[in-house]
A and B are shown apart, each in its own frame.
Chain A
Amino acid sequence: MNDVENNARGTAVHAAGVSLKDLRKSYGSNEVLKGISLDVAPGEVVCLIGPSGSGKSTLLRCVNLLEQPNEGTIHVGGFEATDPDVDIDKMRRKVGMVFQQFNLFPHLNAQQNCTIAQTKVLKRSQGEADTVARANLERVGLGHLADRFPDQLSGGQQQRVAIARALSMDPQLMLFDEPTSALDPETVGDVLSVMRNLAKEGMTMLVVTHEMGFAREVADRVVFMDGGVVVEEGVAEQVISAPKQSRTKEFLKRVLDPTHIDISE
């Protein structure tokens, strides 16, 4: 699955894979990740699901070292992120990240949000950066709002700008940390459809989400985490529709049918 697709600039995207080996992370005496191993092939879409506090966001944030794991190794593309001598900034250029709270830069408009790292990090000319930013804003359906500031955009629009901002760096891997959890229900669909298109284009994606419909439809694989370990993983349809583990079953029952109250429990 070594997909090579065309991105917004018309140049080839080389999707990178991820390989995590026996990852451990503690905050004080609280061990959040208890030895996680996970491989994501180039071009593959993997959804991480699980109850809050299960460590899935921490795992995602370890991949680009926003969190430093205590033990284990992380390989992203050709980089070993856990090598003490790695140029972490160079590695992060290849890894786009989308946050639950968008984290757009409020002092810059949508266009500038997408150009600042291009000019300051990749040293692209302003003209080139503007072209790339414009193309990516078009790609997420917001070309017409390029000069708006974040506070003039809806949550869904802000999140799409955040995706365009990440894509403007031509990443080989995209990390999504609950990208739709902070959104109004009516804007969730726009963000998910942008992500769906991205998956179709062959981007490697690691997505922490509670959107089971999206996971079932778009993910190649679903990983269920609970209590800092991977409880179950497999083909999306199989894990979501026919989970094998009882913890997975219980979680999915609650998520898919939140109004269901089992008194005998």
Chain B
Amino acid sequence: MAMTARQRAKVSLYVQAGIFVVAVAALILATDWKTIGNSVFNFAKIGPMFPDIFLIGLKNTLIYTALGFIVGLSGGLLLALMKLSSFPLYRWIATGYIEFFRGIPALLVFIAFGYGVPLAFGVQWNVTIVVMISLGMVAAAYIAETLRAGLQAVPKGQLEAARSLGMPQWRAMVSIVIPQAFRIVLPPLTNEVILLTKDSSLIYVLGLTASQYELTKFGRDGISSLGAGLTPLLVAGAFYLVITIPLSLLARKFESRSARTKR
């Protein structure tokens, strides 16, 4: 009873699907749902988290991410242009900055700007400022590399055409090269925002007042105040997905659009 190659592939597929179903069923049966319901995920404890998880947690996560992104994008653009500069000092500064901030954990940056710098210089920074600086400076390092690649991906002929029309270098960059580079980097830049959204949780190392909680801190706080096992943290996690999955879909859409126009 010899099988053709197609039949063999079909049988193999059925066997794989069967193993998957059995494994999932075994996991479901072996789980102690009662314990999980009590100590890990308790539906009854979700209710009390609303509406504050929207009004405080989600709101602050979005605000911190946006602030970090604005600083990161401006700083990243500046660093990218410095890195492409013909003036060596600018290139060295940019390279040093990028390597430094990409090479250390973002958590250390938060601690440095949250405690170290204010202590050393005797300044009082509120949480918003610390988030802007810490998140923004780390983001700038990553975004700079993304933008540099985007700027270099714009064909040299574009700059030449712009200059041959009498545009000064800065004008050619602003009107011709940078707009094209942004189209190229839109998908990786969207991924950058996803990373930032998650990194905004690092603010937990600072002393926050309740109204400054973002999603993760809000969830951790809920564990102690509601006594609901991991429920608040899992709900907070779901809220991250509410932000990041649409962004991910957006990035994919940008990707397919640029693939279509680039011929």
Contact = CB atoms under 8 A, between A and B. Distances in A.
Interface of A: 64, 66, 89-90, 92-93, 95-97, 99, 101, 103-107, 116-117, 120-122, 149, 151, 162, 165-166, 169
A97 B162 CA distance: 10
B86 interface: no
A92 B161 contact: no
B166 A92 contact: yes
27 contacts: A89-B166, A90-B166, A92-B164, A92-B165, A92-B166, A97-B164, A99-B157, A103-B157, A104-B161, A105-B161, A105-B180, A106-B180, A107-B183, A116-B175, A117-B166, A120-B171, A120-B175, A121-B165, A121-B166, A121-B171, A122-B166, A149-B261, A151-B261, A165-B165, A166-B164, A169-B165, A169-B166
Contacts of A166: 164-165
B150 to A, nearest CB: 13
Nearest to B154: A106
A120 B167 contact: yes
B216 to A, nearest CB: 39
Contacts of B85: none
Contacts of B261: 106, 149, 151
For the residues of B in contact with A, the DSSP-based class is: helix
Contacts, number: 63
Interface residues of B, number: 20
Contacts of B167: 89, 117, 120-121
A229 B164 CA distance: 25
B166 A151 contact: no
Given A107-B179, A120-B171, 8 more contacts: A66-B163, A103-B157, A106-B180, A106-B261, A117-B162, A117-B165, A121-B167, A169-B165
A195 to B, nearest CB: 17
Contacts of B171: 120-121
Contacts of A90: 166
A120 B263 CA distance: 28
Given A93-B166, A103-B158, A103-B161, A151 B263 contact: yes
A107 B180 contact: yes
B179 A66 contact: no
Nearest to B182: A107
B234 interface: no
B184 to A, nearest CB: 11
Nearest to B158: A103
B99 interface: no
A120 B157 CA distance: 19
Contacts of A120: 167, 171, 175
A99 B161 contact: yes
Contacts of B158: 103, 105
Nearest to A90: B166
A89 B164 CA distance: 8
B179 A103 contact: no
Contacts of A122: 166
Nearest to A116: B175
B176 interface: yes
Contacts of B166: 89-90, 92-93, 117, 121-122, 169
Contacts of A106: 180, 261
A97 B163 CA distance: 10
A120 B21 CA distance: 65
A99 B163 CA distance: 13
B165 A66 contact: no
Given A107-B179, A116-B175, A89 B168 contact: yes
Contacts of A104: 161
Query: Which residue, B161, B171, B180, B183, has most C-beta atoms of chain A within 10 A?
Result: B161
A97 B160 CA distance: 10
A137 to B, nearest CB: 16
A264 B176 CA distance: 53
Contacts of A89: 163, 166-168
B125 to A, nearest CB: 40
Contacts of A103: 155, 157-158, 160-161
Contacts of A117: 162, 165-167
A64 B180 CA distance: 25
B146 to A, nearest CB: 19
